[in-house]
């Protein structure tokens, strides 16, 4: 690992001042960044440890919803009573990721900013437009069975690895941050981006921004939400496909539905076409399958990841059937 400077931020203003210096990176739990530094993928000259900043609380605001500090650990998030009872898909998604030890260290902000696990991104001897823009993409003709089928570009077919982000998409969460012009917020739908011709950029956050927290709006539908994840082995693995869903059925018809898929795109994939197709439809397997197929019509699988199309369709039908009263 390259030598680097280390300092602890005493307050948010100090963190922002330091991150403005070239070669500086924020350090929260370090569960992804430190691995990337060991691999030579991340090469910061200076780390600013955020551990002393006041963003480690989960609060219930007077206006409803839930405010989650960016430094709340994944373990504390997943076991919080309000999260488990009012936003269960969030707790289930967090528990589906990593291991107990990693969840104790990993933070909410870090979870959202973790980098893709594309094996070529993590190998500095390979061509990768995300790690080294303009070098190419070895995944396209190489090992890509776990990579994107939706929203990819010729430059990059990476997937977003966050389980939490998929659940937050269903909750219509907003991400709050301190940017160059002061406090700001962005919908989780606009936080992440498609790779386009800038796959080196994972999010739309202005450079040097400090995530301070996530706000979950009040949402009665969320109380029945669920998260499911399919992976190559039973634990401690990234998804081959995943789904977060919330469903409201009245008189046998789908009154409201929200679904997001994970491990299919560069961002958590909110299934707007599926939801449009399903609202007002009979709440049964045939409708669920047809709606999933409407969303998957845009899929562009490569040689080895076409299995994700039936996987996501079947996962959607199975979960919605299980949620149908």
DSSP state of 223: G
d(CA 196, CA 133): 12
Instruction: Tell me how far, at minimum, the Cβ of 134 lies from ligand SF4, in Å.
Output: 10
Query: 3-state DSSP call for residue 121?
Result: coil
Instruction: Tell me how far, at minimum, the Cβ of 104 lies from ligand SF4, in Å.
Output: 28
Q: Where are the beta strands (DSSP E) in 162-281?
A: 174-179, 182-187, 210-216, 226-231, 239-250, 253-262, 269-270
Instruction: Tell me how far, at minimum, the Cβ of 126 lies from ligand SF4, in Å.
Output: 7
Instruction: Tell me how far, at minimum, the Cβ of 148 lies from ligand SF4, in Å.
Output: 8
- Residue with smaller CB distance to ligand SF4, 148 or 216: 148
d(CA 164, CA 311): 20
Which spans of this chain sit near ligand SF4 (rule: CB under 6 A)?
Answer: 116, 118, 120-121, 128-130, 137-139, 147, 156-158, 199
Instruction: Tell me how far, at minimum, the Cβ of 112 lies from ligand SF4, in Å.
Output: 18
- Residue with smaller CB distance to ligand SF4, 213 or 262: 262
What is the distance in angstroms between the CA of the first residue and the CA of the last residue of the chain?
A: 54
Q: Is the dihedral of CA 146, 70, 92, 170 positive or negative?
A: negative
Instruction: Tell me how far, at minimum, the Cβ of 22 lies from ligand SF4, in Å.
Output: 24
- Residue with smaller CB distance to ligand SF4, 80 or 131: 131
- Residue with smaller CB distance to ligand SF4, 73 or 305: 305
- Residue with smaller CB distance to ligand SF4, 158 or 219: 158
- Residue with smaller CB distance to ligand SF4, 98 or 147: 147
- Residue with smaller CB distance to ligand SF4, 32 or 116: 116
The contacts of residue 145 (CB under 8 Å, 6+ apart) are 240, 304, 305, 307
Q: Which residue has the tokens 């107990």?
A: 100
Q: 273 near 295, Cβ under 8 Å?
A: yes
- Residue with smaller CB distance to ligand SF4, 158 or 246: 158
* Residue of 222, 223, 243 whose CA lies nearest to 231: 243
Instruction: Tell me how far, at minimum, the Cβ of 238 lies from ligand SF4, in Å.
Output: 13
Instruction: Tell me how far, at minimum, the Cβ of 197 lies from ligand SF4, in Å.
Output: 11
Q: 34 near 18, Cβ under 8 Å?
A: no
- CA of 122: how far to CAs of 43, 127, 128, 136, 162, in Å? 13, 10, 9, 14, 16
């Amino acid at each position: 690992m390259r030598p680097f400077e280390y300092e602890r931020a005493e307050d948010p203003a100090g963190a922002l001042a330091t991150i403005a210096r070239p070669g500086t990176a924020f350090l929260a739990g370090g569960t992804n960044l430190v691995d990337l530094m060991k691999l030579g993928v991340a090469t910061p000259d200076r780390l600013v440890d955020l551990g002393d900043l006041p963003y480690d609380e989960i609060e219930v605001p007077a206006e409803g919803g839930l405010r989650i500090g960016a430094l709340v650990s994944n373990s504390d998030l997943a076991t919080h009573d309000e999260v488990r009872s009012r936003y269960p898909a969030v707790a289930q998604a967090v528990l589906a990721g990593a291991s107990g030890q990693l969840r104790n260290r990993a933070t909410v902000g870090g979870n959202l900013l973790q980098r893709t696990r594309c094996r070529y991104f993590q190998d500095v001897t390979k061509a990768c437009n995300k790690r080294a823009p303009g070098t190419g993409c070895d995944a396209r003709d190489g090992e890509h069975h776990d990579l994107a089928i939706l929203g990819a570009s010729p430059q990059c077919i990476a997937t977003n690895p966050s389980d939490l982000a998929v659940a937050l998409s269903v909750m219509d969460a907003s991400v709050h941050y301190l940017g160059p012009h002061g406090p700001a917020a962005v919908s989780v739908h606009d936080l992440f981006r498609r790779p386009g011709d800038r796959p080196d950029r994972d999010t739309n956050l202005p450079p040097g921004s400090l995530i301070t927290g996530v706000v979950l709006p009040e949402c009665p539908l969320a109380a029945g939400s669920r998260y499911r994840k399919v992976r190559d082995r039973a634990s401690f693995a990234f998804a081959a496909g995943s789904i977060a869903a919330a469903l409201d059925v009245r008189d046998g018809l789908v009154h409201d539905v929200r679904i997001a898929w994970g491990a299919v795109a560069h961002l958590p994939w909110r299934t707007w076409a599926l939801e449009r197709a399903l609202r007002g439809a009979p709440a049964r397997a045939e409708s669920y399958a047809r709606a999933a197929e409407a969303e998957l019509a845009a899929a562009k699988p490569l040689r080895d990841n076409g299995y994700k199309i039936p996987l996501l369709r079947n996962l959607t039908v199975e979960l919605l059937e299980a949620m149908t009263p």
